[in-house]
């Protein structure tokens, strides 16, 4: 099974992906995380990527397609993939179909988390990410505590693109370039829409039910 988690920035894709990885022993592919890893290396490429991310724009399809091609050629990952924040353009979606087909795989379902713009902006402004384990928290609605998080609090961090100005640009980019992919997947009967305003565990329940029904 290969799953695409779809939705605007801050919809909760990363949170659900984290849970699904644990529960279903799948592998999460977040192009955002992969790009941030390159930024952390402080290479020339990393600096270019950072300036694009901080403007709320998308990096080139070519760069993303190359990243994904490497991942899909790893047979250990076959049919275990959860894509988080990818594909983000029609070109990426078509390239993913092509690469999966070449590797005798396909997308099993596209789970779209629907959340309105003002709610995602609020969520993102209080988002915290653990630099050590990658777990995502929210200062207000889902704070880190001793029960849900083992790492030291000093690892909790906010992303440089999680400020209001960049978020508004990210949302515009999403509406213009990413949202149209929904029709592409709808026409292939792969799309499942989920109310992303529900509680984290209610969303997980819905996802479980969809996966069970496949």
Q: Which is nearer to ligand ADP, 175 or 209 (CB)?
A: 175
The yes or no reply on residue 112 touching ligand ADP (CB under 6 A) is no
Minimum separation from the CB atom of position 212 to ligand ADP (A)? 26
What residues have CB less than 8 Å from 72, skipping those under 6 apart? 99, 100, 102, 103, 105
Minimum separation from the CB atom of position 147 to ligand ADP (A)? 25
Q: Mark 3-22 with x for binding to ligand ADP (rule: CB under 6 A) and - for no binding.
A: ------xx------------
| Encoded tokens for 200 | 């984290």
Region near ligand ADP per CB under 6 A, out of 49-57, 133-141, 147-155, 192-200: 49-57
How many Å apart are CA 129 and CA 136, to the nearest integer?
5
- The label of the residue with tokens 């594909």 reads 87
Region near ligand ADP per CB under 6 A, out of 25-33, 104-112, 139-147, 195-203: 25-33
Distances, alpha carbon 140 to alpha carbons 7, 93, 122, in Å:
21, 34, 10
How many Å apart are CA 160 and CA 49, to the nearest integer?
12
> Which positions lie near ligand ADP, rule CB under 6 A?
9-10, 30-32, 35, 52-53, 56-59, 64, 85-86, 88, 92, 161, 170
């Amino acid at each position: 099974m290969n799953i695409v988690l779809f939705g605007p920035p801050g919809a909760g894709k990363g949170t659900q992906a984290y849970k699904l990885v644990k529960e279903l022993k799948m592998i999460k592919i977040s192009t955002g995380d992969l790009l941030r890893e390159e930024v952390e290396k402080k290479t020339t490429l990393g600096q270019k990527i950072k300036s694009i991310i901080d403007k709320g724009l998308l990096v080139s399809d070519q760069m993303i397609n190359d990243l994904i091609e490497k991942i899909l050629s790893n047979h250990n990952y076959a049919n275990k993939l959860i894509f988080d924040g990818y594909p983000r353009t029609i070109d990426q979606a078509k390239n993913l179909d092509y690469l999966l087909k070449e590797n005798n795989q396909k997308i099993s379902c596209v789970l779209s988390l629907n959340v309105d713009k003002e709610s995602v902006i609020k969520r993102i402004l209080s988002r915290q990410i653990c630099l050590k384990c990658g777990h995502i928290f929210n200062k207000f609605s889902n704070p880190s505590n001793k029960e849900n998080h083992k790492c030291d609090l000093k690892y909790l961090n906010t992303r440089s693109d999680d400020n209001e100005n960049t978020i508004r640009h990210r949302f515009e980019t999403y509406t213009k370039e990413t949202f149209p992919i929904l029709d592409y997947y709808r026409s292939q009967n792969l799309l499942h829409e989920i109310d992303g305003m529900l509680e984290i565990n209610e969303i997980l329940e819905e996802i479980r039910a969809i996966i069970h029904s496949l």
